[in-house]
Amino acid sequence: MQPEFGDIIRFLLDCPPFDQLDGEQRQWIAGQIKAAYVNEHNVERFFKDYSPALYIVRSGGFDLFTPEGQLIERLESHDLFGFPSLLSGRDVVNRLEVIEDGIIYIIAGADFDKLRQQSRAFERYFIRAHEQRLLTETQHQRRPGGATPTTTSPSYADSLQLPIAEVVKRAAVCLPSTATIQQAAQTMREEKISSVMIVDEGRLLGIVTDRDLRNRVVAQGLDYGIHVNAIMTQAPTTVGSHQRLLDALTLMTQENVHHIPVLDANDQPLGMLTNTDLMRQQKSEPVMLISALNKAADLASLVSEASHIPDYMHSFALRVNDAGAVGRLLASLTDTMTRKLIDFYEQEHGVAPASYVWLAFGSQGREDQTLSSDQDNGLLLANDLNEQQLQWFAGLGDYVCEGLAACGVPKCPGNIMASNPDCRHTREGWLERFTTWTESPTPKALMYCQIFFDSRNVRGNKRLYQSYREAVAKLGRSEFFLGNLARLQSNVQVPLGLFNRFRGTESGKDSDLIDIKRYGLALVNDIVRLYSLHAGLTEPRTLTRLALLQDSKLLNRKDNQALGEAWQFLTQLRLQHQLAVWGTDHPKNALDPDELSTLVRRQLKTAFSILKDCQQGVGMKFGRIG
């Protein structure tokens, strides 16, 4: 059924967000629209005949139900539906019931995507509408008693949560290190691939990409008969087949690479994952946003793209309902913006005059950022810099920190930023500070320095960072220092009072609220960090630290598992709370336990009880608490 063209134009002018398109765009989409007359006899075939698509009710009335029979929305003239499947890639599972026969306009998925690319206002309208739909569906999924599930069903999981093994369908294409450059190029042409693995006796030595051939061979005029081991990227970053696509995206963003080899459980090459694979699997916001940030040509365009991060992340968080995934993705976004800002500064002021590392501290270092995290960063510099070189790096710190603030990452209230001279030091300067903290651990110094033990290299010299981090880990093993850290952590009052009742942590009118960051999550991080320092670990992420501490003599497996479960529960609870207060002035980390369901209250008490037990264990094991 083909509707009348002029009638469609008039209808679209009165149908947001089509009224925000320009005349040419509106005329084009009007010519693509199909129409279907829908009644009770053909409604069951409607989605089968026209799916996936964006649907607009032209006339009539319809009810949209979940597969479980819960009413999502009553649809009347000018109402739109079908866009959640187009945005998320999930199957159409909802059911349509006819209240009054009518006409429904249909816009194909490809045409919808084209309009999203052409009009930012059009795209943002549907992102917000999608968020509201997800909130409605989440409410329908609540358990009896008001408890919200801590995990989502597979139909709502974002494709970035898929195991990499499910995405890599093609076996690894490999060549020995003795193959020639010409053989590598011929293999890539025949296999229609953009990279090839270099493998000897089952061991991955490196990869050769089309970029390597351009930059290292053609541009240099090399002989095509040379062995590929002369031009390959050696010891490339890899991922395991059991890891998730989000892990691969994070690594590829951090390393600024477009190809990443996938290894099986025995570290044998399984296949290659590329940026194209990620884009194919995840056409929604996160991958597209990271790509847009990477393509920003100047500061203004970076700030413009970054302005979409809150909406994108809100949508992503609602969809995946996984605090760990949200934290890693936010860290990747902050990393990407940081690297672009460094690039812009170097374009204007020349390349760095000496080796350096841009350091991420705190939540960015641990990759557990939240929707309200601020900046924590610093600079590690090579020794023996002159005044001119130090000024270059001072300018870099100011530029990047101001740029991040313009991109929506708030400045640190405690001034832990590379724009602060106290957070810009040579390797020896940083080690001198850590020596002071560990040898004279005043309460203020202890609280302050813990942030700096959670660090990560965002950009810069890997050897310089590794040397620094190993030296810092050695200083952190001081028994005197660890004993004082244990005392500090044992003095934190977990918000459980007599008879296992909640005790508010705030003052004034919010005295009944509990700050689950300061008195929950931060305490888990602190306790795990203490055991990690004792073990000499350099890994910043809390759950990875616990995995590495599985064989620790001080932290038994039962307590290890309990701390991990407490961390996961508290991060998930905080995420759900932040989504609930999104766009309001309510505290982002403090919640009212009386508003929680019975089940969640019980789980929160269990998490706090675990922390109290672990506090006692820390005091006993490190021998400083009476």
Residue ranges per structural domain of the chain: 5-140, 163-281, 284-475, 477-621
pLDDT for residue 146: 37
Residue with tokens 């040397």: 467
Query: Would you put residue 146 in left (φ > 0), alpha (ψ -120 to 50) or beta?
Result: left
Q: Does the fold of domain 284-475 match that of domain 5-140?
A: no
Q: Give the up-direction half-sphere exposure of residue 539: CA atoms within 13 A in the CB hemisphere.
A: 14
Pick from 402, 331, 401: which is nearest to 369 by CA? 331
Q: What are the two backbone dihedrals, phi and then psi, of residue 106, each rounded to the nearest 5 degrees?
A: -125, 130
Beta strands in 61-118 (DSSP E): 61-65, 71-75, 80-81, 95-100, 102-108
Tokens of residue 431, six digits: 């080690």
Q: Which CATH number fits domain 5-140: 2.60.120.260, 2.30.110.10, 2.60.120.10, 3.40.50.970?
A: 2.60.120.10
pLDDT for residue 155: 33
Q: Give residues with Cβ within 8 angstroms of 94, minimum separation 6.
A: 64, 65, 66, 67, 72
Beta strands in 250-397 (DSSP E): 259-263, 269-274, 356-361, 377-381
Tokens of residue 339, six digits: 């690297």
Report yes or no: 315 and 285 within 8 Å, Cβ to Cβ.
yes
Give the C-alpha separation, 28 to 41, whole Å. 32
Residue type, 82: G
pLDDT for residue 55: 94
pLDDT for residue 285: 54
Output the CA angle 439-443-446, nearest 5 degrees: 60
Report yes or no: 515 and 506 within 8 Å, Cβ to Cβ.
yes
pLDDT for residue 132: 54
Report yes or no: 305 and 289 within 8 Å, Cβ to Cβ.
yes
Exposed e or buried b for every residue in 239-266, given b needs 16+ CB within 10 A?
bbbebbbbbbbbbbbbeebbbbbbbeee
Beta strands in 327-404 (DSSP E): 356-361, 377-381
pLDDT for residue 35: 92
What is the CATH class of 163-281?
Answer: alpha beta
Q: In 3-state terms, what secondary structure has residue 208?
A: strand
pLDDT mean by block of 10 residues, the chain; 626 residues: 76 88 93 92 89 91 84 82 82 86 93 90 77 48 37 42 79 93 93 91 92 88 92 89 80 78 88 77 60 87 90 78 84 92 94 94 92 92 93 97 96 95 96 93 85 94 93 94 91 78 73 88 95 94 93 90 92 89 85 84 88 90 63
Give the C-alpha separation, 387 to 384, whole Å. 10
Q: In 3-state terms, what secondary structure has residue 241?
A: coil
Pick from 160, 460, 461: which is nearest to 338 by CA? 460
pLDDT for residue 131: 55
What is the CATH class of 477-621?
Answer: mainly alpha
Report yes or no: 593 and 497 within 8 Å, Cβ to Cβ.
no
Note the CATH number of domain 284-475.
Answer: 3.30.460.10
pLDDT for residue 72: 76
Q: In 3-state terms, what secondary structure has residue 404?
A: helix
pLDDT for residue 2: 55
Exposed e or buried b for every residue in 76-85, given b needs 16+ CB within 10 A?
eeebbbbbbb
- Burial class of 428 by CB neighbour count within 10 A (0 to 12, 13 to 18, 19+): middle
pLDDT for residue 136: 45
pLDDT for residue 38: 93
Give the C-alpha separation, 390 to 381, whole Å. 9
> Could you give the C-alpha distances from 495 to 430, 498, 519, in angstroms and in order?
35, 10, 7
> Could you give the C-alpha distances from 532 to 80, 98, 478, 548, in angstroms and in order?
53, 61, 12, 9
